């Protein structure tokens, strides 16, 4: 088991060890929030299934040819698939399609294994599989080729057909404890303990997200600035709130590459947990939600008329602001109760306590519910400006206790 890279998911690792030792399952569904370590665990399972160590208990050994090829991303019997094309969806693909999709994966799996052993397919961001792709994959799940294990990694399982879910062994990955995330960051070469401690808290148990924040100081600074704007907002009148939130969304666009879903890795993770390339300010393409066809973006941009930023990008930026706002509101609520030891961002302690002192905890609690609904509305294709304006006006005012 020397070859394992996953940390902080002991129960899931025990289940994976069972799959490596016994009969390999045909299909596995790994479910958990983005950045929690699904891809790393999927690669560990792949290494375990493709490892050549005599002692099954020792798989993945981390040293044999199979393990090394999995690690380097060059194993001929490991097939990776992820979102492709402008809509950032996992598509059906196949002949005539420029995007690689499920049909291409099925064609790969129809061939004989190159190394003569097991074959593994990993579908990243499987919650972004469109209906055609899911229907195509279902046939393979119903009659899987011999020796093939298909691993689906999904942030949420609801977008997947019940018939797909029912054919998979399901493993849920929950948040990783903060200390464990700090250790993962240290292993990945983040040698600044203060930075590691801070990003581990902000990432809320998602090592992949913590690594992304730690690798991008600019995005971290943008996050700080946005959190301060949101804390100050309580003192503003409605008109000023609307202006401030719109500009916050514009600023969040700069943090989108790091804060949004990472692209599916075309190469396996190296050290640590689901690492990603250092996020810059420009490389990430806009990623609409799975329910949002790419064409609707253009229509919405046209209708809005006021800006050239694609609707999908504005939606992503709004989602970033909602995520940061949720952390800010959560910390304010904790501060109203005097529980400052669990703050997600202790660096803003002073501002958070000042805001908390002026607000009614019940109103803050209601607002946190509203942030949750905002996330659902954004995913459901409601205009981001509408959602953000509503939040700007609903963020509690000092001294006003709701009826
Ligand atoms: Zn091995």
CA pair distance 178, 202, nearest whole angstrom: 10
Phi, psi dihedral angles at 91 (to 5 degrees): -100, 175
362 CA distance to ligand 1 middle (Å) = 55
CA atoms within 13 A on the CB side of 275: 19
**Residues 381, 203, 172, CA angle at the centre, nearest 5°?**
75
Residue 64 CB coordination number (10 Å): 19
Angle formed by the axes of helices 102-110 and 131-142, to 10°? 20
* Per-residue pLDDT reduced to its tens digit, 273-310: 333 333 333 333 333 333 333 333 433 443 444 445 67
38 CA distance to ligand 1 middle (Å) = 20
74 CA distance to ligand 1 middle (Å) = 14
Q: How confident is the model at residue 342 (pLDDT cuts 50, 70, 90)?
A: confident
CA pair distance 137, 177, nearest whole angstrom: 35
* Per-residue pLDDT reduced to its tens digit, 373-399: 998 898 777 899 999 999 999 999 987
* Per-residue pLDDT reduced to its tens digit, 165-184: 999 999 999 999 999 999 99
> Is the pLDDT reported for residue 401 higher than 80?
no
Q: How confident is the model at residue 134 (pLDDT cuts 50, 70, 90)?
A: very high
Please, are residues 371 and 330 in contact by the beta-carbon 8 Å criterion?
no
CA pair distance 14, 29, nearest whole angstrom: 15
60 CA distance to ligand 1 middle (Å) = 5
313 CA distance to ligand 1 middle (Å) = 42
Q: How confident is the model at residue 269 (pLDDT cuts 50, 70, 90)?
A: very low
The bridge status of strand 148-154 relative to strand 169-172 is unpaired
CA atoms within 13 A on the CB side of 138: 14
pLDDT of the residue at 332: 96
119 CA distance to ligand 1 middle (Å) = 14
pLDDT of the residue at 212: 92
CA pair distance 322, 357, nearest whole angstrom: 22
Mean pLDDT of 6-30: 93
Q: Which of 29, 11, 21 is nearest to 169 (CA)?
A: 29
Tokens coding 276: 């990603």
pLDDT of the residue at 296: 39
pLDDT of the residue at 399: 74
Name the least confident of 25-34, 142-151, 291-300.
Answer: 291-300
57 CA distance to ligand 1 middle (Å) = 11
pLDDT of the residue at 257: 58
pLDDT of the residue at 9: 95
Please, are residues 361 and 269 in contact by the beta-carbon 8 Å criterion?
no
> Is the pLDDT reported for residue 62 higher than 80?
yes
| C-alpha dihedral sign at 38, 185, 71, 48 | negative
Please, are residues 33 and 156 in contact by the beta-carbon 8 Å criterion?
no
pLDDT of the residue at 258: 57
Tokens coding 395: 């963020």
| Residue whose tokens read 């949420």 | 156
68 CA distance to ligand 1 middle (Å) = 7
248 CA distance to ligand 1 middle (Å) = 49
63 CA distance to ligand 1 middle (Å) = 5
**Residues 89, 95, 97, CA angle at the centre, nearest 5°?**
40
pLDDT of the residue at 88: 76
Tokens coding 119: 């074959």
101 CA distance to ligand 1 middle (Å) = 29
**Of 1 and 375, the one with more pLDDT:** 375
18 CA distance to ligand 1 middle (Å) = 16
Q: Considering the entire predicted model, what is its pTM?
A: 0.78
* Per-residue pLDDT reduced to its tens digit, 79-112: 999 998 766 789 999 887 888 999 999 999 999 8
CA pair distance 199, 192, nearest whole angstrom: 11
12 CA distance to ligand 1 middle (Å) = 20
* Per-residue pLDDT reduced to its tens digit, 308-335: 567 778 888 999 999 999 999 999 999 9
Q: How confident is the model at residue 259 (pLDDT cuts 50, 70, 90)?
A: low
Which distant-in-sequence residues (6+ apart) come within 8 Å of 306 by Cβ? none
CA atoms within 13 A on the CB side of 148: 21
Share of the chain above pLDDT 90, in %: 67
Q: Which of 177, 173, 120 is nearest to 147 (CA)?
A: 120
What does 276-337 look like in DSSP terms, one character per residue? -PPP-SS-SPP---TTS-HHHHHHHHHHH-S--S-HHHHHHHHHHHHHHHHHHHHHHHHHHT
100 CA distance to ligand 1 middle (Å) = 29
1 CA distance to ligand 1 middle (Å) = 8
66 CA distance to ligand 1 middle (Å) = 6
CA pair distance 268, 44, nearest whole angstrom: 10
Please, are residues 384 and 246 in contact by the beta-carbon 8 Å criterion?
no
């Amino acid at each position: 088991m020397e070859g394992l890279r996953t940390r902080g998911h002991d129960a899931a690792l025990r289940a994976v060890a069972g799959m490596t030792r016994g009969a390999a399952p045909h299909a596995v569904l790994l479910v958990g929030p983005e950045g929690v370590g699904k891809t790393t665990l999927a690669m560990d399972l792949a290494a375990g299934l493709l490892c050549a160590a005599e002692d099954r208990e020792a798989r993945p050994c981390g040293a044999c040819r199979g393990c090394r090829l999995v690690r380097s991303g060059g194993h001929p019997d490991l097939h990776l698939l992820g979102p492709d094309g402008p809509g950032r969806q996992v598509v059906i693909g196949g002949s005539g399609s420029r995007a690689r999709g499920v049909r291409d994966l099925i064609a790969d799996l129809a061939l004989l294994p190159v190394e003569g052993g097991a074959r593994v397919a990993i579908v990243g961001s499987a919650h972004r599989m469109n209906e055609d792709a899911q229907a195509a994959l279902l046939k393979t799940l119903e009659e899987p080729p011999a020796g093939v294990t298909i691993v689906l990694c999904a942030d949420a399982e609801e977008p997947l057909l019940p018939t797909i879910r029912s054919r998979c062994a399901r493993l849920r990955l929950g948040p990783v404890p903060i200390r464990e995330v700090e250790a993962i960051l240290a292993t990945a070469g983040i040698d600044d303990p203060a930075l590691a401690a801070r990003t581990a808290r902000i990432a809320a148990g998602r090592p992949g997200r913590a690594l992304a924040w730690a690798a991008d100081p600019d995005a971290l600074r943008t996050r700080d600035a946005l959190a301060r704007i949101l804390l100050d907002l309580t003192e503003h009148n409605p008109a000023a709130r609307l202006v401030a939130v719109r500009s916050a969304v514009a600023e969040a666009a700069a943090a989108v590459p790091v804060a949004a879903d990472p692209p599916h890795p075309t190469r396996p993770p190296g050290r640590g947990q689901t690492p990603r390339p250092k996020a810059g300010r420009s490389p990430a393409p806009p990623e609409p939600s799975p329910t949002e066809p790419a064409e609707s973006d253009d229509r919405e941009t046209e209708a809005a008329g006021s800006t050239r930023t694609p609707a999908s990008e504005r939606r992503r930026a709004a989602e970033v602001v909602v995520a940061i706002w949720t952390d800010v509101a959560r910390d304010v609520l904790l501060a109203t109760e005097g529980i400052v030891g669990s703050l997600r961002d202790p660096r803003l302690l002073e501002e958070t306590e000042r805001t908390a002192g002026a607000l009614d905890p019940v109103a803050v609690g209601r607002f946190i519910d509203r942030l949750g609904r905002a996330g659902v509305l954004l995913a459901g294709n409601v205009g981001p400006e509408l959602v953000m304006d509503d939040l700007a006006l609903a963020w509690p005012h000092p001294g006003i206790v709701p009826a």
